[in-house]
Each structure stands twice: as C-alpha cells, then as structure tokens.
Structure 1
Amino acid sequence: MAFDHRKYQPFTPPARPQRRWPDQVIGKAPHWCAVDLRDGNQALVKPMTVAQKMRLFDLLVSIGFKEIEVGFPAASQPDFDFVRALIEQDRIPEDVTIQVLTQARDELIARSFEALRGARRAVMHLYNSTSRTQRERVFRMDVAGVRDIAVHGAQTVARHAAAQPDTQWVFQYSPESFTGTELDVAAEVVNAVVDVWQPAQGQPVIINLPATVEVSSPNVFADMVEWMNDNIVQREHLQISVHTHNDRGCAVAAAELAVMAGADRVEGTLMGNGERTGNMDLVTMAMNLYSQGVDPRLNLANMREITETVEAVTEISTHPRHPYAGELVFTAFSGSHQDAIRKCLVSQQPDEPWDVAYLPIDPRDLGRRYEEVVRINSQSGKGGVLHVLERDFGITLPRWLQIEFSRVVQRQAEESAGELDGAAIHALFETHYLNAPVNWQLQGYDVRRDGDTVEASIRVGNGAVAEQLTASGKGVVDALVSALEARAGQRIAVESFDEMALGEGTRASAMACVRMQVDGEIFSAAALADDTTSATLQAVLSAVGRATAAPRQAVAVG
C-alpha cells in the first residue's frame, strides 16, 4: 500500500480574527479531574480488577485529586461493583467527589444513578457525540437530532437526581468529538443542555469540551475553547473543562493553551494512559506548572511510588524518557552537559531560586537523587567523571588530570560498550594513578630546612626492604627529584603538581597529583595520605616508578 498523504483532508480551523488567549499566563492551577479509573481503564488490554482500582484510587487521593472519575458503571458489572464498594465501604474522603460517565440513554442513566445511590457528592457526566462525521456517518442525524438527544439526556439526569436528594449532585455534559464539531453546532447543543440544568439557579454544572480525537494543533483547540467561552450561556455560573487526547502528541500543550483560553478544569490520567496514543498526562502538566513556580495543588514528590503503582495496575511500563517520571529524565551522559551540571550544582545556594543548566527542576523535589543525574558512558567527558569522583568519593581532580583521566574512562566505556558506575570509575583511578608500583612505596621521610634549602632523607621500598634517598633542593619535591635523577641518571622534571585537602568520609585527609617528564616521556600519578607532604612524595615516586624498570639496590629497613 502506498504511503499517500493526499487521502487526508487538511483541518480547516474556524475563523478567529481576535485572539486574547496568547497574551495570558497561567498563574494558578486549574481544577483537576483524574479519569484513570474510567478512560484509562477502558484503554487497557487487561482492565483493572476491583482491588487494583482501589489501590489506584487511594494513590489518586494521596496525591491530592479532589475529583476522580471512577468508572462507567452502566457499561460493565466490575465498574458498577467498584463504585458500590467505594460508597458502601466509606472509602471516599469528605473532600473528594467521585464522577461517573454515562451516555445519553435512559437505561444507562438510570443504572448510573443506581450505582451512585448513597454517595455524599457525585458528578454525573453525560455525553453524546456531536461531530459532523458522527452525525452523518454513524447516527444518520441532523443537528436537531443530536441536540434532542442531549436535551432528553439532560432532562433524564435532572429527574433522577431529584429522586435522590440526599446526594449533592453536579451535572457535567460533554459534546463528544467536540474538535470535529462546528462551533455554532457545539454552542447550540451545549446551550440547550445548560437551559435544562439552569446553573444560574444554583445547580452546579460543568461543560466539558473534549478533544476526543486530536485533529488540530494546540493553538486551534485554544481558539475553539475561547470561542465557546464567549458563546456559552450562563457562563459565569458554570465551569468549563477540557479533556484532551494525544493523537498528535500535543495533549498537554492543548490543555495548557485551553486554560489560557478560559478553561477552569482539566481532565487527564497519570502518565497519560488512555485510548490510542493516550490522554492528557496529569503528571506532565502539573509538573510543568510547578517548574514555573505555580503551585499545582498536587503532591508528586514521591514519583517512584506513583510510577510503580501505575505500572502495577496498568501493566504498562513507564518510558525511561517520560517527562519528570522516567528513569533517565534527570540523567546526563553528554560530557558538556555533565560539566555544566557539576559547575552549577557547586554554585547553587540553598536559599536562591533553582538555576542549574540542563535540570529544569531539582530532582530531589521528586524523590530523586543526584547520583542519578550524572552517569558515565563513552559519550561522557571530564565534567561527568569529576562529578562522580566528587559525589561518591570526595575526590576533586585538577583540570589537567580531569582531561587525562576522562580519556582513560572513555576508552574503558568504549571497550565495555556500556555504562560505568562510580565503583568502576574509582577502580580505574586507583589502577592508573593511585596504586604505587612495587618497591616504590613511601616508607618514611625526614625533612630539615636550612634557610631556603630543604634537605630530605626519604625511605622507599615495598614494606620489607627500603632504600634511603638523600638530597637537597628548594623544596621537598625538588629534593626528591634531585635524588632520583642522581640515583638513576635520568632527566626528571615536574610538569604539573597539585595538592589538596580531602573532605570528610574519605580514607585520607590529603591528595597530591603530579605529572612528570622522565627522559622526555610523560607519566602521571596521584597519592592519598594523612598529610600533604606524604601524598606529594608518594605521587612523585609512583610517577617515576612507572617510568623506569631499572633495578635498585635495596637495604633492610631499620
């Protein structure tokens, strides 16, 4: 079959010559409604059991959702049983309102009210499809026909609600396939429903505008919402809600722009689970607000528990690159990214606004650790390697050794074709720099200063035997280099030399790093010790020891 774009008609957006919404900024969170237990559940290959639904319901409550659509009780017995279990077992907190969905059919409306009997407060969500395609090809009806279905459903809902006065009822209407409905038709049907329910007289009403199928770019959806916002009767007495699907991959953007265009309420699911490509992802939109300093009125701090619960009840794995929730979303492998993150984290102060390159939010806010931010593979650079050594072992390297050691790590990562953890990186550092060659371990030293001259006596060996090296110089390193040159007849020069104190938690209090030129070749080494002089002497010995294999005369210690 040929891949032919000509079979599709381009979407023609409604004329909107005067837009106000592009100048708006979202300054507060919308009202949220989680539809995981209905829309999310009906999209699963294996629908949730009552026990799984209870687990997910409890999670949604703990996150802070105040409106939760719990099912389509007229569509299946498990959905009916779950709604009854919530009510009869008194599982619904006082500040949480449950919602159920029903088509505009008398017997389904009646069954839905039966499921909700005894509820303290509930949203009865009524819908029928209004799009041109559905009218012409599915129902074979004109606009008057679908309007009459909606009006009759609204009247039936009002009548059943009056028969159950102990429940506080909220009525919700959705013109299903709103995005495929002409705006004047959508307004005609919605206004007819509002006229039945009369929110101006005190009946709480929600008008939900669903992108049942996402057929346009988000800005067009926002145009449609703004137009409806201007043309729905009794607007000041009702809530406008949106329910966006992700067919074009833009459900979150469409919902955000819809809020800018006047929507008060947003429906969606955790991780965006839903039919086809999914629903609007509540986690992503809420965290988008959070990252801009807006309180989302949801607590997503324990992201790991959220993802584990959703995965368990849906049997769908969370993509590692899923915004905010994925395993790798705060992870940097790129060397330049790692270097920037490390430098920003060093500069970031606890009392200042978050400002770290490549990390739009602080991973700790979602229960993540900095250990998960920088990970090392063949794409990593010196910044990432340095960050891992600092983070895990309290070791800071001078710039010249950062560059040199990063090449060692990169070669190992390329050979292993995978990721290197902190232990593997530290092992490489020990092998290439810290481990003193046999017979080149510092056994002790004596230093005496005479004006500007240092006279040093340095004992070198392997533990059982030692060699005494004695020389003088401008400093202890200069003296040791003079002694080594005299002993072996080699040309030795120090190219780079750094020493530093180490933080708490390391096995030593000082480290020294040296880069030596021995007979024209470069050798580097590092050493850890209780004091900087010992660390420096050992680093020099290790570098020269790697450079030479010449036998040395040894004498017994003591």
Structure 2
Amino acid sequence: MKNSEFNYKKYVKPNFQPKNFTNREWPDKDITKAPIWCSVDLRDGNQSLPTPMSVDEKMGMFKMLLDVGFKEIEVGFPSASQTEYDFLRKLIDENLIPDDVKVQVLTQSREHLITKTFEALKGCKNAIVHLYNSTSVLQRDVVFNMDKEEIIGIAVKGAKLIKEEAAKYPETNFQFEYSPESFTGTEMDYALEICEAVMDVWQPTSENKMIINLPSTVEMTTPNRYADQIEWFSKTIKNRDCVSISLHPHNDRGTSTAAAELGLLAGADRIEGTLFGNGERTGNLDILIVGMNMYSQGVDPELDFSNINKIAEIYKDCTKLPIHERHPYVGDLVFTAFSGSHQDAIRKGMKARESRGEYVWQVPYLPLDPHDLGREYKEIIRINSQSGKGGAAYIMESEFGYNMPKAMQKYFGKVVKRRSDSMGKELSPQEIFNLFEKWYINIETPYKLTKYKISSVDSDSFDVDSNNIETNNLLLEAVINFNGHDYTIKGTGNGPVDAFSNALMQQDEEELKSLKNYKFVHYHEHALGEGSHVKGVAYIQIDTGCTEPYFGVGISENINTAAISALMNAINKSYIKMDVN
C-alpha cells in the first residue's frame, strides 16, 4: 500500500544559479593535475561518528593521513571539545606535525571560540584558521532570523577577530579560510558579496592567499549546476590571484564525486573531504575515489593509496565503521567478477597482456590494476552459480597451474556451476580443485591400469616407463584390472597414447570389449610447475557417441604415464554416472 506521505509535489526545485551565465567553459575541460587536498576526517568525519575518536585513535588516523601524503589536515574544532583541544596540543607539544604540513582548525564567528582556537594553536608552525557562518536563505530565515547585512556583520566581525588574534602569534605562519556555509542554498550575488567583505578584512595577496571554501553543505541539485556556481564565482570574484577556491561537497544526492570533479573543471584549486566518505548524513566527498579516478586516467593524484588494505584497516579501527563491499577501489568485491562473461574476458585480457609484455594496463572489466593498490589477482575471479567457464578455468590456471583445453573449459564450467548452485554458495579455489580431481583425475573404476611397458618394435626387451625411446614405432604392453582380474593387452603405434589406444581396440576379451567404444578426439599436455622434478599434465578428449564428450586428466613426472592415465580416466568416466556432490 502506498504511503500517503510519499508525494513529490511537496518539494520545490532550488534555484540559486548564477543569472545569465551562458559562457561556461568547464564542459570542454579535462582534469590534468591534482588539486590541493585537505582531509577533514579528524573534524567533519569525526563529528559524525556515533562514538567520536579518542586522542589515541585520532593520532592513528593522523599518522595514516600523513603517510598517504596529505599536506593540509583539519584536525578538529579545538574550542568546542576538550578532546579536540588536547589532541591539537599533543601534536604541537610533541612536535608531531611535519614542517611541510598545515593543520587546519575550524571556528565559528564568536569571540570566545576564536580566542580559544588561537590558544590551542600556540607554538604551531603552519596553520589554517577556518571561519564559517551560514549564509543560505533558509538558514537566515528559520535559524538566525537575520537579514543579509546582519549575516555579513557576523562574518566580518569574525574575520577581524581572527586577524587580531593572529597578530599575537608571530611565530606561526597563518593562512585564513572562509566558508559561506550552505553555499549551494545561497544567492550567488550574495555569496560573492559576503566573501569579498571578508577579503577586505584579511587583505590576501598572491603570496599569502586566502582560501574561500564553497561548500555543498547540503547537496541540493545536479553536479553540473554546482559546476556552474563554481565557475561563475571563480570568474567573478575580485583579485582571483589572491584566492584559492576550495570545494567541500557532501553526498546527499549521491553525486559528490561528480560534483567535485566538475567543480575542478570549473576552476577550483582545492578539495576538502574524507577517506571512504565518512561525514554527516550520507557523508562527505570521498577523496580516495576522486584521487584514484585521476590515477586511473594517468594523472598523478599526489596521494599514495598503494597500500589500500592497511589504510582501510586503520580507518575501520579508528572510526569503528565498516567499508561497503562494493566501495570503489577498496571494497572486498570491487576487483571480483562472478559473471561468466566477465570472468572469461578478464582471463583472456590478463593472458594477452602477459604474452605481449604490455606495460600499459588494458584488461576488460578491470579499469585498474589491483596490484597498484596492494590487492592480489586471486581476488579477481570468484565462483558461484552465476559464473561461467572462464572463471573456473582462471582459478585452475592461476591457483593450481592447470591450463585446460578450450573445449574442456566449457564442460568443467558447467560442473562447477551446478556444484555452486546445489550448495547455494560461492566455491573456494580448493573446492573447485577438489571437484576437478574427482571429475577428471581420480577415476579408477571400472578399469584400472596396473602397469605398462613400452619399447621399440625392433627391441628385444621392454623399457619400463621410458621417456627416451623413438616414437615412430612403439610397442606397448599393459595390465588392466577389471572386477579383480588382471588382463594383459598389447598394441603398437606412433606414440605411447596411440599404442595404448590401439591395444584397447584389439581386445576380444568379453570383459574388455567395451573399451573399444570411443573415438580419440584431442590431446593436450603441459608442464605443471618448474624445476628438475616437474610433473607433466595431460588432457584427453574422447567421443563415445553421446551428447557430450568425455575428458580425462593424468599427472606424472613421466608424460607417457600422464597421457595413458588421462585416456583411462576419460574412458572410465564414460561408464560411470557422476554427480557434483
């Protein structure tokens, strides 16, 4: 039954776009370099946690952010919380902030908060003081009940106080940042007016730029509209060379990544966000995604995510939040294919790249090399009831070294699929290998090869299991056990398998007559592993006139033994009914 409250008519499309803006340039641009990155994990991300981080947890996160390569890190709101204050003092007192890193702190435009913020920063070498106040139509109306001039007064008063306090700490290199909070719900002309009013107080220069942060505090419209706002603002603000335009997108509409990328095209210089998108409501922009998107397009993000598993582990330990299995680049399943067609294409792409010795990464369905992030190729293909022949073949080759003939892959893929379906779960590589052994290798009934000898037809004696005799004209003698009785067979041929097959075809013993009921179709062999005692694996396909062919596999350090065993396994398989369980 439909919920009567579910009614789209209660919503009105917001309209805070720049007026008569027709000369937009961002649609024709590409991202060619990394922005200035500022992590707000320790402030914006932390304030949204059910249980905020302790000082020790914040320290663990801070060190990880340094390792990733962040040069600007918002460490907290020191005037609003004792934990935030203590953490900042610990960083400064213990000299834990590298000389090339700026710590950023947030404050509202209130005198006692600004004063305490500067006290917390005493002794810091490089700091960004971030002032904000809400400017949107809705906030002015229902939260503050103030007009435009009164809201500008709040911003200007805070800017003056910050400038006065900064003068008391000449040992610190300060940079100032202003955010018209709820920028996306603010009239563009008014957003420009209030930012320029703050600029008039701070008097930024091209050598000491002021940061103007234009936050999508609440994502209210499509990313292209945000890009229009950013480009208009960037082109219209006075003294543009004295300003660093910063973005702070939230993810209410699920499009923060697109908003950030289009905002960069529109002229932004800097981005604030968190790792894995932690933040209020649906979260902040995920900096990792934007950075890795650049990386996958051949642009240096100037952040190092090469050990993504460790980064994710620290994040989860510090925040107590999970990471979704489908999270781009990081989730447990993002480099995993279950679909049969995807698996087949990935397997072929990997083999093609290896055989060609290519450096440039081009593999179907894998826009990024998992090794770049410290992930393993074994994670790429996993098998369930949706998987096809390529997936099982990839697992057998990559995990165990078995390079099945193409015709065999189709039928083994069906076996694996039926097994996964009957179990109702994904199959592990070992479970797949066990199924392979059962289906093609360990088949010793109804016929069992006990022993054999091969020699040249012209030789007076047999050479058991020889690898070195000429194969032009071989004589083979073998013993086959059936129902507890041994039967000796003999045959000649141009190779061990041919001689063995001919020996089977010549049998008149009633118990062995049925061994003639096949046609030899295909033979394939390869080494299994490396070294002086490497084993060989042989694959044989036969046709018995049934709908599907039969395959057998043999393994031995002697390839003749492997080949003959493979034929016996194929023949035996044609006589027994096997199930996947």
Q: TM-score range by the shorter chain?
A: over 0.9
Distance in structure 1 (CA, Å) of the matches to 2:292 and 2:493: 63
Q: In the alignment, is residue 14 of structure 1 matched against residue 14 of structure 2?
A: no
TM-score (norm 2): 0.91
Once the two structures are TM-superposed, the CA of residue 454 in structure 1 deviates from its matched residue by 4.0
Counterpart position of 2:571: 544
Kindly provide the amino acid, as one letter, of the partner of residue 443 in structure 1: K
Distance in structure 1 (CA, Å) of the matches to 2:167 and 2:46: 30
**Local SS of the residue matching 2:518:** strand
Residue among 370, 383, 398 paired with 1:376:
383
Q: In the alignment, is residue 185 of structure 1 matched against residue 190 of structure 2?
A: yes
Once the two structures are TM-superposed, the CA of residue 436 in structure 1 deviates from its matched residue by 3.4
**Local SS of the residue matching 2:336:** coil
Once the two structures are TM-superposed, the CA of residue 355 in structure 1 deviates from its matched residue by 0.4
Distance in structure 2 (CA, Å) of the matches to 1:53 and 1:386: 46
Q: In the alignment, is residue 511 of structure 1 matched against residue 537 of structure 2?
A: yes
Q: In the alignment, is residue 99 of structure 1 matched against residue 104 of structure 2?
A: yes
Counterpart position of 1:493: 518
Once the two structures are TM-superposed, the CA of residue 541 in structure 1 deviates from its matched residue by 1.6
Kindly provide the amino acid, as one letter, of the partner of residue 222 in structure 1: A
Counterpart position of 2:408: 401
* Structure 1 residues 433-492: Cα deviation after superposition (integer angstroms, max 9, x where no partner): 011314513522214257965432223359x98542102345543432333232422342
Residue pairs, 1:335-484, within 5 angstroms: 335-349=340-354, 350-438=357-445, 440-449=448-457, 454-461=474-481, 467-473=487-493, 475-484=495-504
Once the two structures are TM-superposed, the CA of residue 409 in structure 1 deviates from its matched residue by 0.6
Distance in structure 2 (CA, Å) of the matches to 1:236 and 1:503: 65
Kindly provide the amino acid, as one letter, of the partner of residue 498 in structure 1: Y
Distance in structure 1 (CA, Å) of the matches to 2:197 and 2:257: 30
Counterpart position of 2:309: 304
Distance in structure 2 (CA, Å) of the matches to 1:286 and 1:387: 31
Counterpart position of 2:462: none
Once the two structures are TM-superposed, the CA of residue 267 in structure 1 deviates from its matched residue by 0.3
Kindly provide the amino acid, as one letter, of the partner of residue 81 in structure 1: D
**Local SS of the residue matching 2:167:** helix
Bigger mean CA offset, 341-350 vs 154-163: 341-350
Report the CA distance shift for 1:520/1:100 in structure 2 as closer, same or farther (over 3 A).
closer
Distance in structure 2 (CA, Å) of the matches to 1:167 and 1:132: 37
Distance in structure 2 (CA, Å) of the matches to 1:281 and 1:201: 29
Kindly provide the amino acid, as one letter, of the partner of residue 540 in structure 1: L
**Local SS of the residue matching 1:163:** coil
**Local SS of the residue matching 2:32:** coil
Distance in structure 1 (CA, Å) of the matches to 2:562 and 2:388: 27
Residue among 5, 27, 45 paired with 2:8:
5
Q: In the alignment, is residue 208 of structure 1 matched against residue 218 of structure 2?
A: no
Would you say the 8 A contact 2:541–2:552 is kept in 1?
Answer: yes
Report the CA distance shift for 1:97/1:181 in structure 2 as closer, same or farther (over 3 A).
same
Counterpart position of 1:527: 554
Distance in structure 2 (CA, Å) of the matches to 1:276 and 1:31: 25
* Structure 1 residues 178-221: Cα deviation after superposition (integer angstroms, max 9, x where no partner): 00000000000001111111113854311110000000111100
Counterpart position of 1:554: none
Distance in structure 2 (CA, Å) of the matches to 1:546 and 1:286: 54
Identity of paired residues, percent?
45
Distance in structure 1 (CA, Å) of the matches to 2:407 and 2:110: 76
Once the two structures are TM-superposed, the CA of residue 83 in structure 1 deviates from its matched residue by 0.9
Residue among 203, 228, 231 paired with 1:226:
231
Kindly provide the amino acid, as one letter, of the partner of residue 516 in structure 1: I
Bigger mean CA offset, 322-331 vs 436-445: 436-445
Distance in structure 2 (CA, Å) of the matches to 1:445 and 1:541: 16
Distance in structure 1 (CA, Å) of the matches to 2:24 and 2:372: 36
Counterpart position of 1:146: 151
Counterpart position of 1:553: none
- Flag structure 2 segments of 5+ consecutive residues without an equivalent: 459-470, 577-581
Kindly provide the amino acid, as one letter, of the partner of residue 9 in structure 2: R
Distance in structure 2 (CA, Å) of the matches to 1:150 and 1:39: 21
Kindly provide the amino acid, as one letter, of the partner of residue 444 in structure 1: Y
Would you say the 8 A contact 1:290–1:296 is kept in 2?
Answer: yes
Would you say the 8 A contact 1:104–1:128 is kept in 2?
Answer: yes
